[in-house]
Amino acid sequence: MPARPQVAAAPRAESAKPLLVLEGLKKHFALPRDGFLAPARVLRAVDGVDLSVNRGETVGLVGESGCGKSTLARLVTRLHHPTGGRILFDGQDITDLSQAEIRPLRRRMQMIFQDPYASLNPRMSVGDILAGPLRLHGIAADDQAAKKRVGELLEIVNLPARSAEKFPHEFSGGQRQRISIARALALQPDLVVADEPVSALDVNIQAQIINLMVDLQERFGLTYLLIAHDLAVVRHVCDRIVVLYLGKVMEIAASDVLFRSPRHPYTQTLIAAVPVPDPRLERGRRSVALKGEIPSPINPPSGCRFVTRCPIAQPLCSQVEPVLRPNAHGGWVACHFAEGIDAAHAAA
């Protein structure tokens, strides 16, 4: 992939033909003016993201609320139209496809949403919810075939076949999320974008849903883009983790590398906030101070987006935006002083 002017080459995974490629992807939302003579305001939700995802891979998107994770998920599935950049899905440029043109691709990319109750029509039975996509895309030849497939989908997510006769409000949160997963699998997709799929669930249920998703990936060869704000959720699930801040990628690394040796100050603060089960290890951990609140994406800081909260910020950081560059550990980091961070981490 050729580099764009003044930007390091986009981070690519090992495969020569990744399933999903994002090149300089942007989504800006125009906001109402504060007054008649006030300047136009733009919310930069996603502001130049480069990323690739291999087949069968699980890539996690992490960061604080408002960093652009959910917007990026909706861009990937073309629920939002990008302001700039490109989206390549299995080699096809889908950036500017109309909704009619992209409909055939809906079979191959599905979403699992955060709130399973809000994403399921309360007026429809579970059977109708699962059969709808089958009929829409012509997968089920008739009602009998649709009913049979619905039973198979419920079995896949470990729910009894009689669940098809019930309505969403008759299930627990974890069961509703299983139904959402079954709906996503109905069209046999290649890519599943999961937007905080367990954040609304109890901790014990979270583990069950994550384990189910891992099992389904192994069984059906799925590719996951997993959005989460909790690194503990993605640590043992994701092959690679992408750290977002104010619509920008701060760091990309293999999961084990990211947790063992984070290169960006923001990544360090996120990892420091993840609790450790062993009280002795927890007491001995270094704390990484994170000052202030996340700035507004309407008026982001100049230079590095993280400069106003960074514990090692220098004058250069507010003057020049760091580009995402490869490091010696196979990851990518957007920090002027990443080498110093590496040395400090090694010394600690």
For 318-339, write each residue's pLDDT tens digit.
Answer: 999 999 999 888 899 999 998 7
Q: 283 and 301: one domain? A: yes
Q: What is the pLDDT of residue 246?
A: 95
Measured between alpha carbons, how far is 220 from 238 in angstroms, rounded to an integer? 17
Domains: count for the chain: 2
Domain edge (last residue) among 186, 221, 244:
186
Domain match, 201 and 318 both: yes
Mean pLDDT across the chain:
87
Element (H, E) at 280: helix 279-284
Cα-trace Rg, the chain: 21
Which residues, including other chains, have CB under 8 Å from residue 301's CB and lie 6 or more apart? 295, 307, 308, 318
Whether 1 is covered by a domain: the verdict is no
Q: Does one domain contain both 47 and 127? A: no
Q: Specify the 3-state DSSP secondary structure of 196.
A: coil
* Domain contains 328: yes
**132, 163, 186: which is the final residue of a domain?**
186
Cα–Cα distances in angstroms (integers) from residue 316 to residues 263, 292, 335, in the given order: 18, 20, 11
Q: What is the pLDDT of residue 211?
A: 93
How confident is the model over 184-202, as pLDDT tens digits?
A: 999 999 999 999 998 888 8
| pLDDT at site 16 | 57
Q: Residue 209 sits in which domain range?
A: 20-108+187-347
pLDDT of the residue at 90: 95
* Chain segment 37-86, per-residue pLDDT in tens: 777 889 999 999 999 999 999 999 999 888 999 999 999 999 999 999 99
- pLDDT tens digit sequence for 104-146: 888 899 999 888 888 899 999 999 999 999 988 888 888 899 9
Residues 182 and 192 in one domain: no
CA atoms within 13 A on the CB side of 117: 8
Predicted pLDDT at 287: 57
Q: Please give the backbone phi and psi of residue 227, each rounded to the nearest 5 degrees, phi first.
A: -95, 130
* Host H or E run for residue 139: none
Range 53-92 burial, b when 16+ CB lie within 10 A, else e:
bbbebbbbbbbbebbbbbbbbbbbbbebebbebebbbbee
Residue partners of 5: CB distance under 8 A and separation at least 6:
none
**Do 145 and 42 reside in the same domain of the chain?**
no
Residue in the block written with tokens 């690739």? 52
pLDDT in tens, 294-310: 888 999 999 999 999 99
In a domain, 205, yes or no: yes
**Final residue of a structural domain among 186, 208, 232:** 186
DSSP designation for 246: T
pTM for the structure as a whole:
0.87
- Report the C-alpha gap between 234 and 287 in whole angstroms: 21
Residue 162 binned pLDDT confidence (cut-offs 50, 70, 90): very high
| Residue 5 forms part of a structural domain | no
Separation CA 94–CA 86 (nearest Å): 8
CA distance 51 to 252: 9
Residues 45, 168: one domain? no
Residue tagged 């390549």 (tokens): 88
pLDDT digit string (tens) for 211-230?
Answer: 999 999 999 999 999 998 87
* Helix (H) or strand (E) segment spanning residue 304: none
With both helix axes pointing from N to C terminus, report the angle between 143-156 and 126-136 in degrees, rounded to the nearest 10: 120
